[in-house]
Amino acid sequence: MGIDSSDLFGSLFEAPSLVRVVPVLVPLPVPVAYSYAVPDGVHVEPGSVVQVPVGPRQLIGVVWDGENDDKLDPKKLRPITLVFDCPPLSKEMRDFVDWVASYTLSPPGLVARMAIRAPAALDPEPMVEGLRYLGGQPERLTPARARVLDIAGEEEIPWTRSGLAHAAGVSVSVVDGLTAQGIFETVFLPPPPVVARPDPDYTSPRIEGPQKQASVEILESIRAGGFSTSLIDGVTGSGKTEVYFEAIAETLRRGKQVLILLPEIALTSSFLERFQERFGAKPGEWHSDLAPRMREKVWRGVVTGEVKVVAGARSALFLPFEDLGLIIVDEEHDPAYKQEDRVFYNARDMAVVRARIGDFPIVLVSATPSVESQVNGLAGRYNTVHLPTRFGDAALPDLHLIDMRRHPPERGGFLSPVLLRAIGRTIERREQSLLFLNRRGYAPLTLCRVCGHRFQCPQCSSWLVEHRFKSQIQCHQCGYSERTPEACPECGTFDHLVACGPGVERIAEEVEKHFPDARTIVMSSDLLGGVKRMRLELEAIAKGEADIVIGTQLVAKGHNFPLMTLVGIVDSDLGLSNGDPRAAERTFQLLSQVTGRAGRTGLKSHGLLQTFQPQHPVMQAIVSGDAGAFYEREIAEREKAILPPFGRLASLIVSADTRADAETHARGLRAAAPKVTGISVLGPAEAPLALVRGRHRFRLLVHGRRNSDMQAFLRAMLENGPKQRGSVQIQLDIDPQSFL
C-alpha cells in the first residue's frame, strides 16, 4: 500500500517539471474542491481515494472531476500524500454525489464522505497464513500427529494452523512440530469472504396468486434493463418480500449487485435469516451498530464486487458498489429514511435518483405507500403492482375503535375496560397482545401539585420525561438527565410531584396491576442493553415467551410474531395534532403498520384503537379498511394546498446562542429572498422547539410551485443574505419531514 507506482510508464511521458494539479473533495463543509499537486510518478484519476494535507491535518478525500485552474502554480500547491489501494469511485457514483450535493445544497465533500466512510477499509485485507500438506511421515508418529495427518490428507485444500489443530482436536504445537519437519508448507491464502455468495436458485421461488402477476411485471422491468421505478403496494403479510426476492434473484443471475434498504435493519435479524433461507447465504449488513471491523470488510466487499447483496439502513445508499443493478426500498413510506443531520436527505428519493443515474431498476415497497409515491403511480411515473390480500389463510385483523369518552379508563389509568377485557381473553387463549404507545419512559411531564412547577430541560424548550426504571427525568431532545427529585425545586414540598400522561413504562405498570401473572415485556429504544437486548427480546416474543408486549414504534417494524392476535393502540390521536402537514398520513401509516403485526399466521386477530376522535377521517379510514378513499382525500387536499408532491417545501432553521441573534439573522435572510413568482417565504417565526441545547431557533419555510427552481432561489437568498457571524448557524432542509 502507499503511493501507487504501477502507472510509472504513463507518468514517464510527462516532463518532470509538468507536475499536475487535481481537484480533491475533502470532508469539510466547504463549497468547492481544493487543488493539490500530484507528485511525479503518481497516478491518480477522478474517483481516486487519496490522503491530503489540510492545514495541520491529513484528511481522506476523493479526486474529483472538473477543470483545473490554470492560474494555479503546482509548485506552490501542497502535494497529495497518499493514494489508497482501492478502485476509484465510478463516474456514476461521482455524478450521484454531485447531484445530491446540489439538490440538498450540501457541501459536496460532506456528501462524498458518506461514500468513503471507513478509512481503514482502504487497506487491502491481509492474506491469511495457511498450511499445505506435502505428504510424507514425521520421524515419530504419535496418535495426535496421526490425527492431524488423517485430517489434512482428506482434502487438497490448505488449512489455517488453528483450523487444522481444531479439526484434529490437538494443540497448535502439534501442527507446528509437523511443519518444522517439512510435512506442511506455509502458503498465503486470500482472506475469507465477508459473506458467502447468495445463490439465486438455492430454493425455488414461492409465489402464488396475485404474487405471480406482481412478480411477472417486476421481472419484466428488470429484464428490459434500464431505469424504471416499480411500487409494490400490498397489505401487511401479502408476500411483498417474496415478490421482491424474485427481483433480487433475477438481478443476481445477471451478475449484478443488489441493495436492499430497510428502515430498522439493526433489529430485523429475522429478515436476514429469511434471506438466507431463500438464497443460501446472508446479505452483507450495513448500519450504525455494525462492528467497525465488519464495516470495513463490507465496504471493501462492496467496492470490489465480492459482496453481492447488502441489506442496510439509509446510509447504505452511499456505498460505492462496483456494479449495482437493483435497489429495493422496503417500507418506503418510513420517516427513518430521512436523515436530519449534516447532509439532510431522504434516502427513498435519493435512491430513485441513484437508480436513474446508474440506469437500473428500483422497487419501492410498502403496505401504506407515501402520498408522494402514490401520486407518482397515478401519474404513470411509477409502475404500481397491488397485493390486496394476505397470503394463505391469514386474514387482516378486525379493527375497532374504542371511543374513550364512552368507555373511559378507571381513575389514574389509561386503558379502557374494553381493551382490558380483550387482553384477558387473549391471555386465556394463550395468545399474545401488543399495546402500542409511541412514548418512551414513564410520563411525559412531571409537575408539583402544590405550586404547579413543571420540570423543564434547562437547555431546551421541552419537558423532562420521567424514566422510572432508571429513576431519572430526561430530556428527549438533548439527552440531559437528572435523578428524579423527591422535592419540588420551586417550593420545596416533598412527595407532591405528580406524573402527567402515560409512557410505555406507566402502561406496563397498569397492565401488571390488572394481570399480575402475565409475562410482560416493555420494548423501547432507551432501555439498558441496547440493540443486543432488543434482538433477544424480539426473539423471545416471537417464540411466545411473553403474553403482553408494551412497545413504542420499535415493535411496529417488520417483525413476525406468530402468536400475536391482539393489538391495542393506547393513544391513536397522539400524532394528529402537531402542525405537520403529513400528520394524517403518518398516523394512518403507523397505525396500519402496528395493527398489521396481528394475525400474520392465520389465527383470528383483532385491533383495538383507543381514541377521543372516533369521527376523525384517519380513524374512519383505518376501521373501514378503505385505504383508497383515505389517500384520495389526502391527495386532493394536498393538491388544493399545493403541498408536496404538488408543491415544494424547504425549511431553514436559523439558530444562535441568543434569541436576538437568531431572529435578526433570520429576518436578514427573509429580506434577501429574491422576488420570484411561484415561490414565497413564510416566517421567520420562533420554531415550535424554540430552544435546543441552549440554542435559540427561528424558522423560515419556503414554499414553491412544483416546477419552481427552489435550489436557485435558496442559493440566492443565502448569498445575498447577511454574513454568517458569531454563533449563527443555518440548517437547510429540502423536502422537510419535521416541522419542529
Run of H or E residues at 293: helix 292-304
Q: Which stretch binds ligand ADP (CB under 6 A): 53-61, 230-238, 567-575, 703-711?
A: 230-238
Q: What are phi and psi of 536, to 5 degrees?
A: -65, -40
Q: Which of 132, 206, 400, 470 binds ligand ADP (CB under 6 A)?
A: 206
Which option in Zn ion, ligand ADP, none does residue 475 bind, with CB closer than 5 to 8 A by kind? Zn ion
Q: Which of 229, 236, 373, 484 binds ligand ADP (CB under 6 A)?
A: 236
Please say which residue, 207 or 423, places its beta carbon nearer to ligand ADP.
207
User: Cis ω on the peptide bond leading into residue 489 (within 30° of 0)?
Assistant: no
Q: Examine residue 559 and tell whether it contacts ligand ADP (CB under 6 A).
A: no
Place of cell 491529513: 58
Which option in Zn ion, ligand ADP, none does residue 239 bind, with CB closer than 5 to 8 A by kind? ligand ADP
Q: Which whole-number Å values give the CA distances from 420 to 430, 502, 571, 665, in the listed order?
A: 15, 16, 14, 53
The stretches of 478-602 forming alpha helices (DSSP H) are 504-514, 530-542, 583-595
The secondary structure of 96-127 as a DSSP string is HHHHHHHHHT--HHHHHHHHT--GGGGSPPPP
Q: Which whole-number Å values give the CA distances from 228 to 91, 248, 360, 397, 631, in the listed order?
A: 20, 15, 7, 34, 24
Residues 192-231 that bind Zn ion (CB under 5 A): none
Q: Examine residue 277 and tell whether it contacts ligand ADP (CB under 6 A).
A: no
Q: Examine residue 239 and tell whether it contacts ligand ADP (CB under 6 A).
A: yes
Query: Between vectors from CA 373 to CA 367 and to CA 374, what angle results, nearest 5°?
Result: 75
* Count of residues touching ligand ADP (by CB under 6 A): 13
Q: Which stretch binds ligand ADP (CB under 6 A): 200-208, 468-476, 533-541, 672-680?
A: 200-208
CA distance 538 to 518: 17
Residues 378-397 that bind ligand ADP (CB under 6 A): 391
CA distance 678 to 662: 27
Q: Which of 480, 501, 722, 731 binds Zn ion (CB under 5 A)?
A: 480
Fill in the DSSP letter of residue 434: E
> For residue 219, which of 254, 189, 190 has the smallest C-alpha distance?
254
Q: Which of 92, 98, 242, 547 binds ligand ADP (CB under 6 A)?
A: 242
Sign of dihedral through CA atoms 433, 438, 441, 446?
Answer: negative
Q: Which of 54, 189, 357, 478 binds Zn ion (CB under 5 A)?
A: 478
As measured in angstroms, the least distance from the Cβ of 215 to ligand ADP is 10
Could you tell me whether strands 729-734 and 647-656 are parallel, antiparallel, or unpaired per DSSP bridges? antiparallel
Please say which residue, 11 or 389, places its beta carbon nearer to ligand ADP.
389
Task: Compose the 456-475 pattern: x for residues touching Zn ion by CB under 5 A, - for all others.
Answer: -x-xx--------------x
Please say which residue, 220 or 277, places its beta carbon nearer to ligand ADP.
277
Q: Which of 122, 207, 214, 326 binds ligand ADP (CB under 6 A)?
A: 207
Q: Which stretch binds ligand ADP (CB under 6 A): 36-44, 239-247, 542-550, 681-689?
A: 239-247
Q: Which of 477, 578, 613, 727 binds Zn ion (CB under 5 A)?
A: 477
Which option in ligand ADP, Zn ion, none does residue 477 bind, with CB closer than 5 to 8 A by kind? Zn ion
As measured in angstroms, the least distance from the Cβ of 234 to ligand ADP is 5
Q: Is 330:242 a contact under the CB 8 Å cutoff?
A: no
Q: Which whole-number Å values give the CA distances from 669 to 35, 154, 714, 733, in the listed order?
A: 31, 76, 10, 15
Q: Which whole-number Å values give the CA distances from 46 to 7, 23, 53, 63, 91, in the listed order?
A: 15, 9, 18, 5, 8
Q: Examine residue 237 and tell whether it contacts ligand ADP (CB under 6 A).
A: yes
Please say which residue, 175 or 248, places its beta carbon nearer to ligand ADP.
248
* Count of residues touching Zn ion (by CB under 5 A): 7
Which option in Zn ion, ligand ADP, none does residue 457 bind, with CB closer than 5 to 8 A by kind? Zn ion
CA distance 570 to 437: 6
Which residues contact ligand ADP (rule: CB under 6 A)?
206-208, 211, 234, 236-242, 391
